[in-house]
Chains A and B, each alone.
Chain A
Amino acid sequence: MNMNDNPHTDALQHHFADMEQQRESAKLGMWLFLITELLLFGGLFGFYTFYRASNPEIFYNAHSTLDVKFGALYTVVLILSSITFALAIYHIRENKRKQTLMLLGATVLFGVIFLAVKGFEWAHHIHLGQLPGKYYTFTGIQGTNPHIFYSAYYMMTGLHSLHVLGGLAVILWLMVRTRRGDFSSYYFVPLEMTGLYWHLVDMIWIYLFPLFYLVG
């Protein structure tokens, strides 16, 4: 391909031969980044497994203090946000910028709902004294060391919420860039990469939901 004929030459970095190579490299890099995220959470899943294997009764007794309705709501909004994000990328490949923008907006909306309800839920826990570690004061759970359920809960959902927050910031930035006209079927690497990240965050929640809300 003769680069000079292309209106989007600036999107191709000099050390790549063509857009395809650039896109594939970015995707590979993104997947490598995603597995570092996976292993970061993986450490916490390992810790959860250890805690749970050592104190099964605590997890059983404590999970009923979480409201399944909230858990299901988070799951639903995150799945919806994953659908809208996937569709946003579908539409940018068809060069439909307006639809892309609307779908990204919907993704942000679902993400905000997630964080808002999560904040509300956390505030409720804190009010009841269901806090991590040495700050735990709640008395409604039977068994030794009931705080460990909440230690695990805050660490895992906390790290996850941070990832949602970071994802939202990036999506907002992508909306600005989409409006500006940076993306088209020729170049949409940042959208695709962020989409992968967002789906991974969704995937992690898919596990957190049953581990805390359903069979805690």
Chain B
Amino acid sequence: MQESSYLDQPRGLKSWLLTLDHKRIAILYLIAVAIYFLAGSVFALLIRTILARPENPLVTAQHYNQIFTLHGAIMIFLFIIPATPAILGNFALPLMIGARDVAFPRLNLASWYTYIIGSLVILYSLHSGAADTGWTFYTPYSTQSNSSVITTTLGVFIAGFSSVFTGINFIATVHKLRAPGMTWFKMPLFVWSLYATSIIQVLATPVLAITLVLLILERVFGVGIFDPKMGGDPVLFQHFFWFYSHPAVYIMILPAMGVISELIPVFARRKIFGYSAIAFSSLAIAFLSFLVWGHHMFVSGEAEIASVIFSLLTFLVAIPSGVKIFNWTATLYKGRISFDPPMVYALMFLFLFAIGGLTGLFLGALASDVHVSDTYFVVAHFHYVMMGGAMMGLLGGLHFWWPKIFGRMYSRFWSLTAAVLVFIGFNLTFFPQFILGMKGMPRRYYTYLPQYKPLNVLSTVGAYVLGVGLVVLVWCLLASLKRKRQTLSNNPWNAGTLEWTTTSPPPTQNFKTQPVVKHGPYDYEEMVAERT
């Protein structure tokens, strides 16, 4: 275990900034995404601080609008969309299919730089008066607002390319670079889910790009496409926007679901139940995700008949999601579950995502949606899905692959402490928002009626608990980097996928010899038999 790993050779900052190694690019992404997550979290805490009381003198309404726009834009476009694919996917996907790298290493590095440039453009908008439109940039307001909508949308436009590049890379890698014996149905489920994610990234992101270009053209030339006075249609913007942004929700959640499909069999010591059902449900989600975007527009004046169809299609998405939940639960049944930190996050995912998913049905149904549209119910719902789902998946995966990435193990005690704090803080923050929404508190206002105060205070307290939990989590992971590397086994979790057969951290070329795949990723019995 003394051989040099990808972390040691070559040395120097330049070798990192110009690296073509997928593992190093994953770490570049990890650092950048973590910084933007921190920024987004600061804005989140600001929001909760402001909302600790109505009419808070801390900020003006305009500032509040800018803060929640920045929180949304940063968290969506710079954190949750790239996070799991670009960090964990970049690191694990080639290793999991026994490849030496992704298909296009230079494109991979270009993706990181595009992301950085896009994110800097978004940050630059702070300087010229950040956008106050919400991350959705709805017209007609976004065509009239005096804030720097053009800069922000330009930044999102550029960052979008990094997502496309990652998607193209992953699809080509999965098709062309699988190791001998790695048939489609021997691929780990995380790879399947990344494959489905990449399809969405490639198909949907260009439409977002053209939407943002149209918005910029509308502001610069007044082309009138979103202006009824000029023969256009403001609701058309919502079609364009959600045609990307609904599938984008699955860009966020599918990779997390893939992580969960890895964690549950490993820590329950059972072969995954319904492998092909989970694999195909990922593709089914990718397919259905393109048919449901109109459910964001039920109260926008969309044609009633279109709403009915979109509502119906929305309910169909519950089927593949339900298939996954069912299979995960069935895998847990009679398993020998060990509560290691990654598994704790996986279980938290199951719990929180179930709440997020089921409340989604309230919003997908026409009648109940009208009642809770644009209230905190929606805010709570998508935070349960995005943070309770996508982010718990990311954290689970990060804790799972951390020893593989860095060759060091973190403190189990502190990591579990952080997980408990995150769980309590998260629920304390967002569960009251379901109630607030049901009671009619609208979202995106800097103030509220006095009767909403107790639950808002509770939510703010929760946000701080969550913040403390995340600080402990980050500190615990960073502290592990000071530990000695040599003490760790190559496969601390006894996992069956290919990346655990190489050293931790892996050598630059990933595997000493080209791996040949003989059994499936979750065939623990065969593996034990093989070893003895």
Complex A–B touching at CB under 8 A: yes
User: Is A28 an interface residue when CB atoms closer than 8 A count as contact?
Assistant: yes
Whether A40 and B99, one on each chain, are in contact in the complex, defined by CB atoms closer than 8 angstroms, is no
Whether B233 and A54, one on each chain, are in contact in the complex, defined by CB atoms closer than 8 angstroms, is yes
User: Contacts A15-B99, A39-B203, A39-B207 known; A33 to B224 CB distance under 8 Å?
Assistant: no
User: Contacts A28-B172, A33-B168 known; A132 to B221 CB distance under 8 Å?
Assistant: yes
Interface centre among A32, A135, A155 (most CB of B within 10 A): A32
Query: Which single member of A13, A44, A46, A145 contacts B231 (CB below 8 Å)?
Result: A145
Query: Which single member of B171, B204, B222 contacts A133 (CB below 8 Å)?
Result: B222
Closest approach, in angstroms, between the C-beta of B106 and any C-beta of chain A? Answer: 9
Bound CA–CA A175/B439 (angstroms): 68
Whether A148 and B207, one on each chain, are in contact in the complex, defined by CB atoms closer than 8 angstroms, is no
**Cβ of B164: which chain A residues have Cβ within 8 Å of it?**
36
User: Is B205 an interface residue when CB atoms closer than 8 A count as contact?
Assistant: yes
Query: Which single member of A15, A16, A39, A148 contacts B230 (CB below 8 Å)?
Result: A148
**Cβ of B209: which chain A residues have Cβ within 8 Å of it?**
40, 43
Whether B240 and A43, one on each chain, are in contact in the complex, defined by CB atoms closer than 8 angstroms, is yes
Indicate with 1 or 0, residue by residue over A18-56, a CB within 8 angstroms of chain B CB atoms: 000100110011001101111111111011001100110
> In the complex, what residue of chain A is closest to B94 when comparing beta carbons?
A15
User: Is B176 an interface residue when CB atoms closer than 8 A count as contact?
Assistant: yes
User: Is B103 an interface residue when CB atoms closer than 8 A count as contact?
Assistant: yes
Whether A35 and B224, one on each chain, are in contact in the complex, defined by CB atoms closer than 8 angstroms, is no
Query: Which single member of B105, B169, B202, B214 contacts A35 (CB below 8 Å)?
Result: B202
User: Is B104 an interface residue when CB atoms closer than 8 A count as contact?
Assistant: yes
Whether A147 and B177, one on each chain, are in contact in the complex, defined by CB atoms closer than 8 angstroms, is no
Whether A43 and B205, one on each chain, are in contact in the complex, defined by CB atoms closer than 8 angstroms, is no
Closest approach, in angstroms, between the C-beta of B169 and any C-beta of chain A? Answer: 8
Closest approach, in angstroms, between the C-beta of B367 and any C-beta of chain A? Answer: 29
User: Contacts A35-B203, A44-B210 known; A147 to B224 CB distance under 8 Å?
Assistant: yes
Bound CA–CA A21/B167 (angstroms): 19
Query: Which single member of A32, A38, A132, A147 contacts B171 (CB below 8 Å)?
Result: A32
User: Is A144 an interface residue when CB atoms closer than 8 A count as contact?
Assistant: yes
Query: Which single member of B103, B203, B224, B225 contacts A25 (CB below 8 Å)?
Result: B103
User: Is A69 an interface residue when CB atoms closer than 8 A count as contact?
Assistant: no
> In the complex, what residue of chain A is closest to B203 when comparing beta carbons?
A39
Interface set, chain B 219-274, CB cutoff 8 A to A: 221-225, 230-233, 236, 240
Indicate with 1 or 0, residue by residue over B86-106, a CB within 8 angstroms of chain A CB atoms: 000000000000011111110
**Cβ of A155: which chain B residues have Cβ within 8 Å of it?**
214, 217, 223
Whether A51 and B221, one on each chain, are in contact in the complex, defined by CB atoms closer than 8 angstroms, is no
Bound CA–CA A14/B205 (angstroms): 30
Interface of A is mostly: helix
| Total chain A interface residues with beta-carbon distance under 8 A | 38
User: Is B206 an interface residue when CB atoms closer than 8 A count as contact?
Assistant: yes
Closest approach, in angstroms, between the C-beta of A135 and any C-beta of chain B? Answer: 7
Bound CA–CA A41/B213 (angstroms): 11
User: Is B490 an interface residue when CB atoms closer than 8 A count as contact?
Assistant: no
Closest approach, in angstroms, between the C-beta of A61 and any C-beta of chain B? Answer: 13
User: Is A180 an interface residue when CB atoms closer than 8 A count as contact?
Assistant: no
Interface set, chain B 97-128, CB cutoff 8 A to A: 99-105, 107
Bound CA–CA A163/B100 (angstroms): 34
Query: Which single member of A24, A36, A47, A134 contacts B176 (CB below 8 Å)?
Result: A24
**Cβ of A39: which chain B residues have Cβ within 8 Å of it?**
203-204, 206-207, 210
User: Is B11 an interface residue when CB atoms closer than 8 A count as contact?
Assistant: no
Closest approach, in angstroms, between the C-beta of B424 and any C-beta of chain A? Answer: 43
Whether B207 and A32, one on each chain, are in contact in the complex, defined by CB atoms closer than 8 angstroms, is no
Whether A40 and B210, one on each chain, are in contact in the complex, defined by CB atoms closer than 8 angstroms, is yes
Indicate with 1 or 0, residue by residue over B157-199, a CB within 8 angstroms of chain A CB atoms: 0000000100111011001110000000000000000000000
User: Is A184 an interface residue when CB atoms closer than 8 A count as contact?
Assistant: no
Bound CA–CA A160/B501 (angstroms): 49
Bound CA–CA A33/B171 (angstroms): 11
Query: Which single member of A21, A29, A36, A151 contacts B223 (CB below 8 Å)?
Result: A151
Whether A145 and B172, one on each chain, are in contact in the complex, defined by CB atoms closer than 8 angstroms, is no
User: Contacts A40-B206, A44-B210, A155-B217 known; A29 to B104 CB distance under 8 Å?
Assistant: yes
User: Is B211 an interface residue when CB atoms closer than 8 A count as contact?
Assistant: yes
Whether A25 and B176, one on each chain, are in contact in the complex, defined by CB atoms closer than 8 angstroms, is yes
Closest approach, in angstroms, between the C-beta of A57 and any C-beta of chain B? Answer: 11
Interface centre among A16, A29, A44, A148 (most CB of B within 10 A): A29
> In the complex, what residue of chain A is closest to B99 when comparing beta carbons?
A15
**Cβ of B218: which chain A residues have Cβ within 8 Å of it?**
133
User: Contacts A133-B230, A134-B221, A144-B231 known; A43 to B206 CB distance under 8 Å?
Assistant: yes
**Cβ of A145: which chain B residues have Cβ within 8 Å of it?**
224, 230-231
Interface centre among B168, B175, B222, B231 (most CB of A within 10 A): B231
Indicate with 1 or 0, residue by residue over A144-175, a CB within 8 angstroms of chain B CB atoms: 11011001000100000000000000000000
**Cβ of B204: which chain A residues have Cβ within 8 Å of it?**
39
The 30 listed contacts between A and B (C-beta, < 8 Å) are A13-B105, A14-B101, A15-B103, A16-B177, A24-B176, A25-B175, A28-B103, A28-B176, A29-B169, A32-B168, A36-B168, A36-B205, A39-B203, A40-B206, A40-B209, A41-B210, A42-B207, A43-B214, A46-B240, A133-B218, A133-B222, A133-B223, A133-B224, A144-B231, A145-B231, A148-B231, A151-B221, A151-B223, A155-B217, A155-B223
Report, nearest first, the 4 A-B pairs whose CB atoms are least far apart: A43-B210, A134-B222, A145-B231, A133-B223
